[in-house]
Chains A and B, each alone.
Chain A
Amino acid sequence: MKTSHIIILVVIAAAFGIIVSMVGDFSSKETFDTAAKKPSKEYQIVAVLDTINHSMEYDPIQDPNRFVFYATDEAGKTQKVIFTGAKPQDFERSEKLTMTGKMDGSSFRCREILMKCPSKYNTDQIAIGT
């Protein structure tokens, strides 16, 4: 067998091994209900902030690392979310939240939030001066 063949085999094996080893890092996007079935595992949940029926709580004087709000997932379920961190700027303006965390009883404990804010391209509002 030629050395180059051995190398190619090793490379393929390595690439394959890496891809297999990565699978454990992937999880699928879930809803609050499905995430609740496996409370020990971290999931990403895509949801929309609910400020109509619930209010947000953030009192940095009490605890700067606790921000509580309610969000509605893609299945339409609204759940209390506890974020360990400061309230992100412009949170009210978010259109969509991708939250990483796990279910804990009746609330979703979230350690990371990615907000999609309306980009300037689709909030074409014109400010009229006088």
Chain B
Amino acid sequence: MEFQGEQLIWGEIGHFSVLLSFMASLIGCIAFYLSEKSRLITNETNWYKIGKTSFFIHSIAVFTIFSILFYLIFNHRYEYHYVWSHSNNELPFKYLLSCFWEGQEGSFLLWLIWHCVLGVIFLLRKKSKWSAGVMAVVSLAQFFLSISLLGLVFFGEKIGSSPFALLREEMINAPIFQRADYLSLIKDGNGLNPLLQNYWMVIHPPVLFLGFASTLFPFAYAIIGLWKNEYKDWVKPVLRWALFGSMILGTGIIMGGMWAYESLNFGGYWAWDPVENASLVPWLVLIAGLHTVVIYKATGYSLKATLFFFILSFSLVLYSTFLTRTGVLGETSVHAFTGEGNYLGIYLLIYLGVFLIGGLTLFAVRYKSIPDHKKEEDLSSREFWMFIGALVLIISSVQITYTTSLPVWNEIFGTKLAITDPVQHYNKIQIWVAIILALATAMVYFFKFKKTNWHTFLKKLSIPFIASVLVGGMVCYFQKITSVPVAILAICSIFTIIANVYYISQTQKLKIAKWGGNMAHIGFGLMLIGIVLSSYNKNVISINHLGVELPMGKEKPEENQKESRENVLLFRNKPTKMDDYWVTYKGDTTIGPNHYYRVNYLRKEGDKVIEDFTLEPNAQINPKMGLVANPDTKHYLTKDVFTYLTTAIDKSKIKDTSSFKSRKVKIGDSIYFANGVMVFTGFDPNISNPLYKKQQGDVAVSAKLAMMDLQGNKATASPVYYIRDGAEYRIVDTMTNFDLEVRVGKIIPSEESVQIEYKQPEALNDYITMKAIVFPYINLLWIGTFIMVIGFLISLFKRFYS
């Protein structure tokens, strides 16, 4: 059958490019390897040229794949499965790139591209004796990555999945594809997950993947160093790559945190989610390697550790891809990238196996001949304490990896282990890691390489130490930090900041080129104190005091306490007290697929307005994904007020659903309703309600209900209940100011109680439930990150130009 309207040419060019990139990476790998192995200079250069050309061809092919895919997404060519799955007509231009990282093929493509960019830059620079070997490893990595895009069937097994697969090939059984004009029926694609439609999601994945990609180069240098068993003038380029990788990967991770904070609803920037951990661990190991390579450069110690860490770092990137992309995490992660099929797991395991086992084998073979000093590091030397810091990073990585891999252990050992409170679990161990690291980063510059005079060391450090204890103590006092480890961490992080600032002022002075390390450490200290303050005093202000069933002694008190009641209900135009604020839901606006809910925050002292701002948390009602909520945050210098919707009503579905609710009460019992409370104070035989016209033979009574709303306005309701000619009659008392109708349902004399029925009229049907959290001093975390990156940049600059 001839299908109409398909543009198959792009797919064909795409497929060809996939094959070409695959073949070229293989040829490049072999050529670079032969160049490395050649003893004859002419052979070496010739093979190197072939390798270089192959890598360029490979890169051009990869860029072609990317461009075609972008073209297809841009033009909504829904005959292609990837385009149909990850985009739709409505998608704004700025989010077109996000389509690349929603799917597995797109993410691998992004990874391939960054390797190409870095590889091409590497090849364009001056050739060194490491070039051929490094590029052989890079090409091998590219060869494996290209496999994932092949989508070809070998021996009945489909290897990889092509981004150019056609919709009709992927969904072969759908009846629609019996028609030649099927494409004219497919008007729109599946769309992009609204959570990815956020500006952080446009820039965070590319940065993170660039970070992942840059771990390949220290790895390649480690391999080739081991291969040649030669480490002279090896350290200079390795150090640059390690600095670059640490900077980019660190930035990418924090950007991920910002994305989570800006657009996810867990209320924070870090949740120890497996996907977050999987990107954090390679970074920790890379940072460990960065420090040991500095040691090696300065003193000749720690070469073995450096090689080991760099091998590990890239392997851990592969392992995290395995964890996050294959669905093995299954039930433990909210980041769902599942359903990619079994082949992917096996493929990634082979990839990981080749690089990790290959690397470690080479490391083991060479171990004895890796140069090292006979003499031990001196206890007072800088290298000793830097090494300890690196080891602590590794211990931290082991712990995080161990727990994150629980689903893998379960798979292997057939167990069913789970962790019920991951945040608390990680925090209680990692806080000590952070404390040791903070101490180490505070003190390390005061040690000299080789040997330090303890007396001068203590003397120099005493000023920042005393200052830190004083400042830290004050911070703990004013921030009411009562937990001992948290207080220690707060003081230690301040120590890090002060000690490094002091070191700059005393030793480095205005030689800015030397500030790199200190700046990175100051940034680290600021990040830590930002994390401590924003999480320790994180305050959920939307505690719900209403609607809570009165504790009738049925529930255990500790259980009442534990229950989080963190969602608050807001009726339109009914101010509700939250912490220091009066919060009012003012109504909503619809822009495109997004509904913006205006929530006003007002803080007064007396009659003076201190704060008055409106947040617009939004919810996207997406026909495919349902309702997806995005938070909104008011940023102050010293705090953030974070707000998001937990439920919103679909206005189109509103009908008169309000009905009387009924509650049996005795004298003195209270009933909570949406915006206040009423207390049944007793009966009144003298009926004052003007709606009641007395007749002979009536048995009538009026219930007295003392009401109070949240602002403290008081009133008394007197609904009337009477029996006339053997029939029951009720007069509803409508309390307009309270938006409440109330009546007496039944009187039960035997129990001395009365059935009160009440109803919230229609106007109150417009409501939202939301959650609001105050994060104090969260800006310290972002500022710290920024300063840390500046520190890395200064160091990189120095390593290139001095």
Interface positions of A (Cβ within 8 A of B): 2-4, 7, 11, 14-15, 18-19, 21-22, 25-29, 42-44, 46, 58, 60-65, 84-87, 89-90, 93, 96, 98, 100, 104, 109, 111, 114, 116-117, 119-122, 124, 126-129
Contact = CB atoms under 8 A, between A and B. Distances in A.
20 contacts: A15-B395, A22-B402, A22-B425, A42-B420, A44-B418, A46-B331, A60-B567, A61-B767, A64-B568, A64-B647, A85-B566, A86-B647, A89-B627, A89-B647, A90-B627, A98-B331, A119-B339, A122-B339, A126-B171, A128-B176
B187 A129 contact: yes
A81 B602 CA distance: 37
Contacts of B415: 28
A29 B159 CA distance: 34
A129 B186 contact: yes
Given A86-B769, A119-B339, 4 more contacts: A26-B419, A111-B562, A128-B186, A129-B188
A129 B189 CA distance: 11
Contacts of B330: 116
Contact of B565 (A58, A65, A109): A65
B353 interface: no
Contacts of B398: 15
B63 to A, nearest CB: 27
A128 B177 CA distance: 12
A127 B421 contact: no
Contact of B417 (A26, A84, A98): A26
Interface residues of B, number: 70
B647 A60 contact: yes
A43 B421 CA distance: 10
Contact of A116 (B331, B627, B661): B331
Contacts of B425: 22, 25
Contacts of B171: 124, 126
Contacts of A58: 647
B549 A63 contact: yes
Interface string B549-591: 1000000000100111111110000000000000000000000
Nearest to B167: A126
Contact of A63 (B332, B406, B548): B548
B563 to A, nearest CB: 5
A121 B563 contact: no
Contacts of A65: 544, 547, 563-567
A117 B647 contact: no
Interface in B387-438: 388, 391, 395, 398-399, 402-403, 406, 415-421, 424-425, 429
B420 A90 contact: no
Contacts of A86: 567, 646-647, 769, 771
A64 B399 contact: no
Contacts of A46: 331
A24 to B, nearest CB: 9
B552 to A, nearest CB: 15
Nearest to B193: A120
Contacts of A26: 406, 417-419
Contact of A61 (B399, B403, B419, B760): B760
Contacts of A62: 547, 661
B723 interface: no
A126 B186 contact: yes
A129 B185 contact: yes
Nearest to B548: A63
Contacts of B384: 3
A74 to B, nearest CB: 10
Given A18-B429, A65-B563, A60 B569 contact: yes
Contacts of B4: none
B377 interface: yes
Given A25-B421, A64-B647, A65-B566, A89 B544 contact: no
A48 to B, nearest CB: 12
Nearest to B331: A98
Contacts of B193: 120
Given A61-B547, A64-B547, A120 B190 contact: yes
B625 interface: yes
Nearest to A90: B626
Contacts of B624: 120
B628 interface: yes
B629 interface: yes
Given A4-B376, A19-B399, A119-B339, A27 B391 contact: no
A57 B187 CA distance: 38
B567 A3 contact: no
Contacts of A109: 559
Interface in B456-481: none
Contacts of A128: 176, 185-186
A56 B340 CA distance: 32
4 shortest interchain CB distances as A-B pairs = A86-B646, A129-B187, A90-B626, A63-B547
A64 B188 contact: no
A20 to B, nearest CB: 12
A72 B552 CA distance: 30
A7 B417 contact: no
Contact of B628 (A89, A93, A126): A89
B17 to A, nearest CB: 24
Interface in B648-682: 661, 674
**Residue from A7, A21, A61, A62 whose CB has the most chain B CB atoms within 10 Å:** A61
B361 interface: no
A11 B628 contact: no
Contacts of A126: 171, 174, 176, 186
A12 to B, nearest CB: 10
A87 B624 CA distance: 19
Contacts of A25: 419-421, 424-425
B334 interface: yes
Given A28-B416, A28-B418, A96 B647 contact: no
A18 B399 contact: yes
A122 to B, nearest CB: 5
A11 B419 contact: no
Contact of A96 (B331, B562, B563, B566): B331
Contacts of A14: 395
Contacts of B429: 18, 21-22
A90 B625 contact: yes
A3 to B, nearest CB: 5
Contacts of B625: 90
B379 interface: yes
B299 interface: no
A62 B658 CA distance: 12
Contacts of A63: 544, 547-549
B563 A84 contact: yes
Interface string B47-77: 0000000000000000000000000000000
Given A64-B568, A126-B174, A119 B646 contact: no
Interface string B297-341: 000000000000000000000000000000000111010111110
A7 B386 CA distance: 13
A57 B379 CA distance: 65
Contacts of B568: 64
B418 A7 contact: no
B614 interface: no
B85 interface: yes
